[in-house]
Chain A
Amino acid sequence: MKEFKREDREVKLFVGPQHPGVTGNMSFEITLEGDTLTSVKTHVGYLHRAFEKLMERRLYIQNFPLVCRICVPESDTNEENYARALEELAGIEVPERAKWIRTLVLELSRLQMFIRWMGGIAGTMGLSTAPQWAIGDRDYILDLFEELTGGRIYHIYILPGGVRRDIPEGFEERVLKVMDYIEKKLPDYDDLIFENSVFKKRLIGLSKLDPAWVEEIGVTGPVARACGFPFDVRKEQPYEIYDKLDFDIITETGCDMYSMALVRRREIDLSINLIRQIIDKMPKGEVWTPLPNVLYWKIPAGETYVKTEATRGEFGYYVVTDGSDKPRRIHVRGVSTPHAYTLLERLVPGMNISDFSVTIVGLQTCPPEIER
């Protein structure tokens, strides 16, 4: 029998490629000493669908059913980004009302994503009541999407030139009703999750970032804001009609998982507030500028980078056109790419193995957007 040596104490394990939280297929090769992690290596490739390449072979309009799949739960950011890039390159004006509707869709999308995330983070800690609530409550927003766009997850609603349909009659009231409902439920979530002493105990101090990493690695979104960086594309470089809405950038200073969670919790309130503002101020008018014949639509040669604030951070599309009817190259900046690689690898040493999936969900990694 082989004698047990101290240097053999390190164990290599694979986490994934099944969902390591509720995020998507991704694999982590972790090294353990006892139940403490010493390092991690992120492996992707299990969800690769070659979207960027596929888009080069399809007509501009045909890419809309593709882009919404780049981040499955938050499809609208992709549609809006891609549409805005094409509008910029082709010189298409979007009617004012369409911009308001787009912003409404984006905020509804953000809201459902954060509600879903609340369930996700609690679920990774074994608090399985929260996911039941979150998924149920999120469905009320999906019902709204179904009514507005015809789809619950993949909306294919934002097209260049505006949006596909005007909002149905009475839709505003129904949105406000759902907002009231969610707002009423939020204290329950606070009691269950954010003020839960177990939750606090596990998250405070967990995955503490060095604020210097934020700019070094390219960390954005709630993770950066939890380190006190006021990074928010909605304010920094307002798109659609964000410059007409009244809001402040949410920041926390803890640099840890708990601060990130608090940023996201406060973002929920902000989204509800923004949705109410949008419905209050939305102008009347057209929602669509006719496009050229979409089957032969050619866009003049050019390149552009457009970005939006997704739930996870700065989401961007770099689009190059060459005057043909198909894009020459599209590169998608998936927000969680730096989060899931470099940042995670730096955070992991010394972490308890049970906190690993909490960290992945806490950084809100989204493998589909890493593997475009």
Chain B
Amino acid sequence: MDIKGILKPLTAWKRAFKPPHTIEVPNKVTREGAERYRGFHVNDMDKCIGCGTCAAICENEAIKMIPINDPDKGNSGYRPRIDYGRCCWCALCVDICPTGSLEMTNEYTWVRETGDEFIFTPGIDIIGHEDKKDKGFKKDDKLNFLHLERVPMRELDPKERTQTFAEAVLGYSEEEARAEAERCVGCGLCISGCPDRMHIPDYIRAIAEGNDQKSLNIIYENNPLPEMCGKVCTRRCEFECSLGHLGEPVAIRWLKRYVVEQFDDLKKYVDAKPEPLNGKKVGIIGAGPAGLTAAYYLRLKGYETEIFEAAPKAGGMTFLGIPKYRFPIPSLDKQVELIESVGVKINYNSPVDSKKFKKIYDKYDAVFIATGAPKGMSMRIDGEDHPKVLAAIDFLKTINLGGTVDIGKEVVVVGGGNVAIDAVRVSKRLGANSYIAYRRRVVDMPADEEEIEATEAEGIPIYTQIIPLRVEDGPKGKVKLIYGKAKMVQEKEGARPRPVLIEGKEYEYVVDSIIVAIGQRPDLDFIPEDIRNKLEMEKRIIKVDKRQMTNIDKVFAGGDLANWTADAISAIADGLRAVKGIELYLSSKK
């Protein structure tokens, strides 16, 4: 008889006198969930950009992006709504959130009176658990599904590149491009930043998958100048990139550049089949980005298009204004060649005057004006008509056309935009000791920050808070720029601070040339006076509707002369809108 085995279990009775070690729920919960507990979602509305990456990784489709009423700029206008009937609390959404806005509380229970509250939009629907934020599961710096660091771009050494007009940026290798493209989460916020609404996530995905030709054709769906954009675009898309919130945005511009660089002869690889001519003719004045875009896509749709260009080459400011170390001629030629190959006729060296304009107006079914903004703005100070004061745009144009400008040994460039940067870097390459004088601070400069960095790397000083007062003759044939210092005054909350002259003290630069790069304006002298008088303007640019139509019958306008943004990609967007506008206009006319 196993007496021990019968008695031993009875020792369990000793536990009867001990207090229970389990906790009664829900009345007596005395402990909080752990710091990492995956409780219920909270979303920081100040950080959330509605990129939808959380919804993309959710395997249960518990997250749906729903539109909200008041989206800020830079947001998709959507916010994640979570369905607790589907959620499995894996928190992959928290770990992949590109802004770190999505977190979880450490609550254990979710007791609600109605079933409706099991589907909610955290941050929008306030349900009383928001104070538990920061207590539960949140993004960890060490584990990151996102690749926040950009593949660095190889460049010529700054010292070496100031000696030459060879391209400064070298472009990605195949391996680098694939790695960079692989970072994209495909949220598509970049599309909202691009004036041309290019299909960015699609072509980046194609690069990541190793299909460069597919990528090229996606790009060509709405941009006939991708190599230009890939090299000199103002890349508004990158400022919207969701990865830019915690890391560096995807190098969208360099990726586009990479794709187009892979193909020497675009005609073979771009799937561009023009429809047969439909008998309608469109005359285009100016072969800049806007004109070329309109001409290319109109021709693909069957319209006969003819461009009149004053310069010996197409490209507009991308040819005349942008220095060759940023955008070399062969890159431009390659793209224009494709545009001409589909049947676009470009008349080079044929400037349009008012007589010719009338002829074009009478001959064509529609006219698209895209002559850009070729005239430099003046500083409106005394002595500005001094022969040593040059407009940056004239200076760059002369250099790009192969001419020479005697700028001397010491050059000051006035301005803080991309043109000022181009002018100062070109002067440096011409052997001058050049520098920038700008009236605000470096952070306020409208120039691309990468361009500013490159300028500084080349040893070009940027002097800030300088207000030019007048220009005087200097000693030994030099010229003096007299200036005062400015202080920055914040006039309105949230507004950009304004430079205000500090009265009393004056300083001077004694230089060989002063290059003025403070903006450009359109030149509409070629339009006959009767039409010009009727033409509706908006300050110094032409007023157009959302299809680029002016108030004059059959006249459309686009590019810098009808667009305040005044960059190449906006001009391309204008060109595309004009294509739709002209198509609609001509099809309604019969």
Residues of chain A touching chain B, judged by Cβ–Cβ distance below 8 Å, are: 58-59, 61-66, 127, 129, 133, 136, 139, 143, 146-151, 154, 156, 164-166, 168, 188, 191-193, 195-198, 200, 286-288, 290-296
Q: Knowing A168-B35, A191-B8, A293-B183, say if A61 contacts B57 (CB, 8 Å).
A: yes
Contact of B572 with A by CB under 8 A: no
* B36 and A165 form a contact (CB under 8 A): yes
* B36 and A147 form a contact (CB under 8 A): yes
Q: Knowing A188-B11, A191-B11, A197-B2, say if A165 contacts B143 (CB, 8 Å).
A: yes
Q: Which 6 A-B pairs have the closest CB atoms?
A: A197-B5, A62-B59, A65-B90, A150-B36, A197-B2, A191-B8
Question: Nearest A residue to B13 by beta-carbon distance?
Answer: A129
Max chain B C-beta neighbours (<10 A), residue from A133, A150, A191: A150
Residues of B within 8 A of A156 (CB): 90-92
Contact of B147 with A by CB under 8 A: yes
* A295 and B185 form a contact (CB under 8 A): yes
* B4 and A288 form a contact (CB under 8 A): no
Residues of A within 8 A of B546 (CB): none
Number of interface residues of B (CB under 8 A): 47
A148 to chain B, nearest CB (A): 7
* A151 and B145 form a contact (CB under 8 A): no
A272 to chain B, nearest CB (A): 19
Question: Nearest A residue to B31 by beta-carbon distance?
Answer: A143
A84 to chain B, nearest CB (A): 18
* A165 and B140 form a contact (CB under 8 A): yes
A229 to chain B, nearest CB (A): 29
Interface contacts beyond A165-B140, A293-B145, A294-B145: sample of 16 additional A-B pairs, CB < 8 Å, sorted by A = A61-B57, A65-B60, A65-B88, A65-B90, A146-B34, A156-B92, A164-B95, A166-B142, A191-B12, A192-B12, A198-B5, A287-B142, A291-B145, A293-B182, A295-B57, A296-B208
Residues of B within 8 A of A139 (CB): 22
Contact of B495 with A by CB under 8 A: no
* A196 and B8 form a contact (CB under 8 A): yes
* B36 and A149 form a contact (CB under 8 A): yes
Contact of B21 with A by CB under 8 A: yes
- The proximity string for B residues 15-35 relative to A, scoring 1 for CB distances below 8 Å and 0 otherwise, is 100000110000000000111
Residues of chain B touching chain A, judged by Cβ–Cβ distance below 8 Å, are: 2, 4-6, 8-9, 11-12, 15, 21-22, 33-38, 53, 56-60, 88-92, 95-96, 104, 136-137, 140, 142-147, 182-186, 205, 208
* A288 and B137 form a contact (CB under 8 A): no
Residues of A within 8 A of B144 (CB): 290
Pull 13 A–B residue pairs with CB atoms less than 8 Å apart, ordered by A: A61-B57, A63-B59, A65-B60, A129-B12, A139-B22, A143-B34, A147-B34, A150-B34, A150-B137, A151-B37, A197-B5, A200-B5, A294-B145
Max chain A C-beta neighbours (<10 A), residue from B59, B92, B95, B137: B59
How distant is the Cα of A188 from the Cα of B96 in the complex, in angstroms?
46
How distant is the Cα of A146 from the Cα of B38 in the complex, in angstroms?
9
Residues of B within 8 A of A165 (CB): 36, 140, 142-143
Residues of A within 8 A of B22 (CB): 136, 139
* B91 and A150 form a contact (CB under 8 A): yes
How distant is the Cα of A365 from the Cα of B19 in the complex, in angstroms?
34
Q: Knowing A147-B35, A165-B36, A197-B5, say if A294 contacts B57 (CB, 8 Å).
A: yes
How distant is the Cα of A211 from the Cα of B89 in the complex, in angstroms?
44
Max chain A C-beta neighbours (<10 A), residue from B5, B9, B58, B140: B9
Q: Knowing A62-B57, A156-B91, A197-B2, say if A164 contacts B12 (CB, 8 Å).
A: no
B270 to chain A, nearest CB (A): 26
* B59 and A58 form a contact (CB under 8 A): yes
Max chain B C-beta neighbours (<10 A), residue from A65, A192, A200, A291: A65
How distant is the Cα of A325 from the Cα of B486 in the complex, in angstroms?
58
Question: Nearest A residue to B16 by beta-carbon distance?
Answer: A129
* B8 and A150 form a contact (CB under 8 A): no
Identify which of B15, B33, B88, B208 contacts A188 (C-beta below 8 A): B15
Identify which of B8, B35, B56 contacts A295 (C-beta below 8 A): B56
A153 to chain B, nearest CB (A): 11
Residues of A within 8 A of B208 (CB): 293, 296
* A150 and B37 form a contact (CB under 8 A): yes
Residues of B within 8 A of A197 (CB): 2, 4-6
Residues of A within 8 A of B12 (CB): 129, 188, 191-192
How distant is the Cα of A168 from the Cα of B140 in the complex, in angstroms?
12
How distant is the Cα of A294 from the Cα of B8 in the complex, in angstroms?
56
Residues of B within 8 A of A192 (CB): 8-9, 11-12
* A164 and B143 form a contact (CB under 8 A): yes
* B2 and A150 form a contact (CB under 8 A): no
B288 to chain A, nearest CB (A): 37
How distant is the Cα of A336 from the Cα of B208 in the complex, in angstroms?
43
How distant is the Cα of A338 from the Cα of B6 in the complex, in angstroms?
36
* A288 and B142 form a contact (CB under 8 A): yes
How distant is the Cα of A63 from the Cα of B184 in the complex, in angstroms?
21
* A288 and B143 form a contact (CB under 8 A): yes
How distant is the Cα of A129 from the Cα of B208 in the complex, in angstroms?
60
Q: Knowing A168-B36, A291-B145, A294-B145, say if A196 contacts B5 (CB, 8 Å).
A: yes
Q: Knowing A65-B88, A166-B142, say if A150 contacts B6 (CB, 8 Å).
A: no
A62 to chain B, nearest CB (A): 3
B40 to chain A, nearest CB (A): 13
Residues of A within 8 A of B60 (CB): 65
How distant is the Cα of A164 from the Cα of B56 in the complex, in angstroms?
19
Residues of A within 8 A of B96 (CB): 294-295
How distant is the Cα of A63 from the Cα of B92 in the complex, in angstroms?
11
Question: Nearest A residue to B146 by beta-carbon distance?
Answer: A293
